[in-house]
Amino acid sequence: MKLDTVAGKKVLVTGAAMGLGKLFAERAVREGAAAVVLWDINEAALKDTAAELTGRGGNIHHFVVDVSVPEAIAEAAESVRAEVGTIDILVNNAGIVRGNSYFWETENRADIEKTMAINAHAPMYVTLEFLPAMVAGSTQARVLTIASSAGLVSNPRMSVYAASKWAALGWSDSVRIELEQAGHDHVTVTTVCPTYINTGMFDGAKGFLFTPILDQDEVVDTSWREMKNGTPLVILPWTSRLNKALSGILPIKLRDLFLNSVGVYRSMEEFTGRKK
């Protein structure tokens, strides 16, 4: 069932201090959400975003949360339920990326655990805190998970990131099917798989054939609209859908030849990431 607006809804966004997360929170404030809950590990940026959105008329609640730690998620969720109540719209946006080297050249092995914890495990733990109440309720509710096109095709120099996003996509879409199977049509799950976005997170990464670096506002606008529509899967841009389709039908050698020739397999060679 389509949701025209989040007006009157309670919205929670992870990774909300900057980038896509901040833009999602802005959309919620703009549409008149009853409350907007911001989670982020960056306390200074989080406070600035909370103050800015409060100044725009939003009912903002912000929590410093390290979503790589399940206990921190559980503690923050309990505080949200006490302070705000149940959540109607959950945006699993928090994510990190490590890349540019081959897997066997990994120097900091903690990056593996951190990447999987934030990109793959956190959406599960966060959703598990709020989904039961959504299911038990009767009003329209949404779970929006930002995965990645890296979860659709293999990509060198970002193997752990790709693994984390394959996991996020598989989990998120499976939960969608579970909700449909159980007859909870008032709760829908939308999974978004974009290519590289100009948030700074993928600085140095290169676009490939017919696939420029995506504009963050356009990604958020599309994701927000399709989340309200209850669209199951959003793949951005169309070339990523084509790559996925061809990867599914071509023999592996031809698939590799195609993805290498259009630039996918070379897209992370000059990756630097966001400057700290």
Residue type, 47: K
Lookup result for tokens 């009767």: 138
Model pLDDT for residues 109-135, shown as the tens digit of each residue: 999 999 999 999 999 999 999 999 999
What's the pLDDT at 210? 64
Q: What is the DSSP letter of 139?
A: S
Phi and psi based region of residue 213 (left: phi greater than 0; alpha: psi -120 to 50; beta: remaining):
beta
Q: Is 181 helix (H, G, I), strand (E, B) or coil?
A: helix
Contact 152, 235 (CB under 8 A): yes
Mean pLDDT of all residues belonging to the chain: 94
The answer, yes or no, to whether residue 79 has pLDDT greater than 80, is: yes
User: How far apart are alpha carbons 58 and 251 in whole angstroms?
Assistant: 52
Confidence of residue 259 (pLDDT cuts 50, 70, 90): confident
Structure tokens at 253: 């050698």
At residue 165's C-alpha, the angle toward residues 119 and 190, to 5°, is 90
For the CA atoms of 248, 253, 254, 257, the dihedral, rounded to the nearest 10 degrees, stands at: 120
Instruction: From the candidates 102, 125, 161, 196, give the one annotated as an active-site residue.
Output: 161
Contact 145, 194 (CB under 8 A): no
Model pLDDT for residues 6-51, shown as the tens digit of each residue: 999 999 999 999 999 999 999 999 999 999 999 999 999 999 999 9
Contact 157, 271 (CB under 8 A): yes
Q: Which helix (H) or strand (E) holds 244?
A: helix 238-249
Q: Which residues contact 231 (CB under 8 A, 6 or more apart)?
A: 190
Least confident of 1-10, 35-44, 86-95, 233-242: 233-242
User: How far apart are alpha carbons 48 and 260 in whole angstroms?
Assistant: 42
* Residues written for the chain: 276
User: How far apart are alpha carbons 269 and 223 in whole angstroms?
Assistant: 28
Instruction: Please give the average per-residue pLDDT across 162-180, as a whole number.
Output: 97
Which of 275, 149, 144 minimizes the C-alpha distance to 213?
149
The CA–CA distances, whole Å, from 211 to 173, 220, 267 equal 25, 17, 11
The answer, yes or no, to whether residue 274 has pLDDT greater than 80, is: no
161 a catalytic residue: yes
The answer, yes or no, to whether residue 263 has pLDDT greater than 80, is: yes
Q: Which residues contact 92 (CB under 8 A, 6 or more apart)?
A: 14, 122, 123, 126, 127, 143, 144, 145, 146, 168, 172
Question: 191 - beta bridge partners?
Answer: 145, 233
